[in-house]
Amino acid sequence: MSGMPKLKMGGLISELRLAWRFALREMRGGLKGFYIFIGCIALGVAAIGAVHSVASAIKGGLDSQGAILLGGDIRLELNQRQATEPELAFLREYGTVAEGASMRSMARLTDGSNQALVEAKSIDPSYYPLYGLLETQPTRETAELFGQQDGVYGAVAPDILLQRLGVSVGDEILLGRARFQIRSMLIAEPDAASEGFGFAPRLLISNEALVASGLNQPGAMIEFSYKIRLSDPSAAALAALSERATHEFASSGWSVRTRDNASPALRSNVDRFSQFLALVGLTSLVVGGVGVANAVRAYMDSKRPVIATFKSLGASGHLIFLIYITQVVLVSLIAIAIGLGIAAIAPPLLKSALQTFIPVPLETGIYPGALALAFTFGILVTLVFTILPLGRAREIPAASLFRSMGLNMAGRPRRSYFISAAVIALGLAVLAIYLSSDRRLGFIFVASTLLAFIVLRQVAHLIEWIARRAPHSRSTPLRLAVGNIHRPGALTPSVVLSLGLGLTLLVALGLIDANLRNQITSRLPQQAPNFFFVDIQSSEVDRFSRLVSENAPEGALMRVPMLRGRITALNGTQTADLPENVRANWVMRGDRGITYEPDIPENSVLTQGEWWPKDYSGEPLVSFVAEEAREIGLDIGDTITVNVLGREITARVASLREVKWESLGINFVMVFSPNSFAGAPHAWLATLSDDQATPQQEGRILNAVTRTFPTVTTVRVKDALDVVNDLIRQLAAAVRAAASVAIVASVLVLAGALAASNRARVHDAVVLKTIGATRHMLMRAYVLEYALIGAAASIFALLAGAVAAWFVLTQVMAMSFTLFWQVAAATLVFGLVLTVALGLAGTWRILGLKAAPILRGF
């Protein structure tokens, strides 16, 4: 008895060796029959590996260049106020401090004929940059670039701003109340990534020039930054400074970032977008899995005599399975190697293109983690989709295999094969969810994929059921087409599954893109204001209102006080001590615009609580946006602490409200009771809405405001929407490129499905030609068959894609949804053309075969 385990182990090893030898011997003839298999796996692996490799390259650049991208070892930011002397003294204990500021303002020509919105950034020429290199053309010393000469300050601007204003290096412009000379063109700004997304070109000036411009006024929307190059650059010293700044100076209200997290927003966006693209890549790999199953089926069909011979000579079903699973794994390794090779070279190939949009130096190289992940997904998908076809082949008796169409006969694999496939599929799902930065999104993807497979399978059964019960047609081609749809071994399940998944993804992405564009370019401008005016001083707000009314008598001017504040505590708990999911909410990150109002703002609807009386004078109260309140756990009666201008205000939540953000009107997450900021210096924000204003009238309004109030920042909404539209266009291009991978996978699957049924097609065509069918009749029958299946798959994809797009837009993005029929029609036509074209390409050769040799072969 004690020798039995050893005997079994020895028998297993012997069987594995025998399977290995037979597998290699059969593969000497090459990889014929596996080209579709290789294409499907290589494509999906390349997509997943490339996305993760590029994301790793971006994150590697963020990590290795953290101090350069941040502009220092640590960066502290304050809104609407500069650091006090005690705060500066504390910072200078640790090293060299470079002070700076940034704000939006209007740069204009000296004759007042043109102006442009700019992101003005002031720096200290003595220290900037603490890390990295400021690249300009021509190259000059920092003091020469920004120094004052005869009352004119120096400035550096990118080419896009020079083009907008129609100026060149050496020309002069106005900013606020100061005159500037463009001394050089800005080529590269080392700390650009840490500055965040900008709606306008950069204009670099000195801190002294910012003071001279008059833009630094009480309540102005200015962000002051303090970047430190540590005397002791160790991690311990950095952590000590960060800890002290956060706790000992908690009332300062500054945000703190270190070189380890130079651009959290960029890192977060890279994580989200790479996850989305990776899931699209995984979709293409799963779609390709259907092609893998078809390819294995076709290959096993071609090996029918060999399998029959093996079984007739006494080979066990287990040995048959081992032989062919070995071949499948070997071929999959070849495919995966091809995919990994493409993924490995993706970062250097995409480096220059990506850096046009992402101001981060990519750390090009080989990323084993990303490649290992792609390898794992490739192997798991291969096994999931090959175990059942191989298990089914094992169970067919030798006598059936010697008869024609043996593999198309009914037969089910053993339960062990179903269990194995289910376990591997579960592992694939768990891995996809676990590796997602957003587990909820990963779970939705897995559940949606499973649901799509189930529904598409049922759709295929429904099509076959309808075809079986279709009325008898007098048209022979139509009768043949309908019969081919539901006969044993029909293309219907494979075509519906592969084409349905690919086209569903294409429809969903197309509708999301179309709705976003429509929202921005068509619907928003109809209800959005023409202009936003920022940094209107309290002493000038009435005069400003009169000027706007004179130049736009038919327009509606809305103005509100505006401050900047940072949430520092909820219900007395400091933000640093809150749960991570609460801190991650966008409302909790950085400074927020806030205001006070006696009345409920326009475009807001009170959903809970009560608004304060107009003469209210009690404790500070705040109205919060309902959705964000739910996400961070706020309710009526809770308290929230906000740091404004270095002073902490604790207010009680009096009401919650819904806000129509899509109107682009003035609204805020937090609206306080008027008594909350009594005596606090602040500026005003205003909007001008005039549906009848022409571009020429808008230009006159812009010039009048800029000339009369040079410190007021004017933002034309159309220009801001153009910037956003360009960003969406770039993102949509990346998404469409990723979606095209899934479409290519669908094409490969269709080709594989045709290959899998090729033997049956040959047999049917020869028999029909023998009894009198013409090539023209058979061609019409095949065209009708492919068109009917393609139309059914396209209609399903249209419905499923529309539902998916509706869910994303209405439930995730909180936007309206419109079904664009041009997208629907294009999808339907694409599905029909693709199916018919590929179907005819695969069957054209069959129709030309001679009958006699084929009949002898059967």
Please state whether 174 falls in left (phi above 0), alpha (psi between -120 and 50) or beta: beta
CA 786, CA 642: separation in Å to the nearest integer? Answer: 64
Q: What is the pLDDT of residue 204?
A: 94
Pair (398, 461) in one structural domain: no
Section 567-593 average pLDDT = 78
Question: Is 780 inside any structural domain?
Answer: yes
Query: What digits encode the pLDDT tens for the residues 265-319?
Result: 666 666 766 777 677 777 777 777 777 777 787 777 777 777 777 777 777 777 8
Question: Is 510 inside any structural domain?
Answer: yes
Q: What is the pLDDT of residue 663?
A: 60
Question: Is 544 inside any structural domain?
Answer: no
Band the pLDDT of 357: cuts 50, 70, 90.
Answer: low
Pair (197, 284) in one structural domain: no
Q: What is the pLDDT of residue 750?
A: 66
Pair (124, 29) in one structural domain: no
Torsion angle (degrees, nearest 10) of CA 768, 771, 777, 781: -30
Band the pLDDT of 3: cuts 50, 70, 90.
Answer: very low
The residues, any chain, with a CB within 8 Å of residue 160's CB and separated by 6 or more, are 201
Among 670, 689, 708, residue at a domain's last position:
689
Q: Is the pLDDT of residue 755 over 70?
A: no
Q: What is the pLDDT of residue 798?
A: 85
Q: What is the pLDDT of residue 667?
A: 76
Pair (450, 303) in one structural domain: no
The residues, any chain, with a CB within 8 Å of residue 359's CB and separated by 6 or more, are 189, 192, 193
Pair (428, 330) in one structural domain: yes
Total number of domains constituting the chain: 4
Q: Is the pLDDT of residue 42 over 90?
A: no
Q: Is the pLDDT of residue 523 over 70?
A: no
Question: Is 116 inside any structural domain?
Answer: yes
CA 155, CA 142: separation in Å to the nearest integer? Answer: 10
Does residue 377 contact residue 287 with C-beta atoms inside 8 Å? no
Q: What is the pLDDT of residue 355?
A: 63
Token pair for residue 467? 């075809």
The three-state secondary structure class of 646 is coil
Question: Is 545 inside any structural domain?
Answer: no
Q: What is the pLDDT of residue 173?
A: 93
Pair (461, 344) in one structural domain: no
Residue 85 CB neighbours (<10 A):
7
Pair (657, 790) in one structural domain: no
For 660-797, strand residue ranges (E) read 670-672, 683-689, 713-716
Enclosing domain of residue 573: 556-689
Among 218, 235, 258, residue at a domain's last position:
258
CA 81, CA 70: separation in Å to the nearest integer? Answer: 21
Q: Is the pLDDT of residue 52 over 60?
A: yes
Section 558-579 average pLDDT = 84
What b/e sequence results for 692-720 when a residue is b if at least 16 CB atoms lie within 10 Å of its CB, and e otherwise?
ebeeebbeebbbbbbeebbbbbbbbbeeb
Among 374, 406, 437, residue at a domain's last position:
437
Question: Is 533 inside any structural domain?
Answer: no
Query: What digits encode the pLDDT tens for the residues 147-171?
Result: 998 889 999 999 989 988 889 999 9
Angle among Cα 349, 351, 356 to the nearest 5 degrees reads 130
Q: Is the pLDDT of residue 697 over 90?
A: no
Pair (143, 165) in one structural domain: yes
Q: Is the pLDDT of residue 5 over 50?
A: no
One-letter-per-residue 3-state SS of 545-607 = HHHHHHHCCCCEEEEEEEEEEEEEEECCEEHHHCCHHHHCCHHHCCCEEEEECCCCCCCEEEE
Pair (638, 727) in one structural domain: no
Higher pLDDT pick, 581 / 653:
653
Q: What is the pLDDT of residue 15?
A: 76
Section 792-798 average pLDDT = 83
Pair (677, 579) in one structural domain: yes
Band the pLDDT of 823: cuts 50, 70, 90.
Answer: confident
Q: What is the pLDDT of residue 753?
A: 64
Query: What digits encode the pLDDT tens for the residues 419-472?
Result: 888 899 898 888 888 877 777 777 877 887 788 888 888 888 888 888 888 887
Comparing CA positions, the residue from 281, 275, 307 lying closest to residue 411 is: 307
Question: Is 536 inside any structural domain?
Answer: no
Question: Is 700 inside any structural domain?
Answer: no
Section 394-410 average pLDDT = 55
Q: Which of 99-108, 368-377, 397-406, 503-512 has the lowest mean pLDDT?
A: 397-406
DSSP 29-71: G-STT-HHHHHHHHHHHHHHHHHHHHHHHHHHHHHHTHHHHHT
CA 348, CA 350: separation in Å to the nearest integer? Answer: 6
- Count the alpha carbons within 13 Å of 19 in the hemisphere toward its beta carbon: 21
Pair (560, 582) in one structural domain: yes
Q: What is the pLDDT of residue 33?
A: 66
Pair (179, 248) in one structural domain: yes
Q: What is the pLDDT of residue 317?
A: 75
Does residue 290 contact residue 498 with C-beta atoms inside 8 Å? yes
For 691-810, strand residue ranges (E) read 713-716
Q: Is the pLDDT of residue 145 over 90?
A: yes
DSSP assigned state of 695: H
The residues, any chain, with a CB within 8 Å of residue 357's CB and separated by 6 or more, are 730
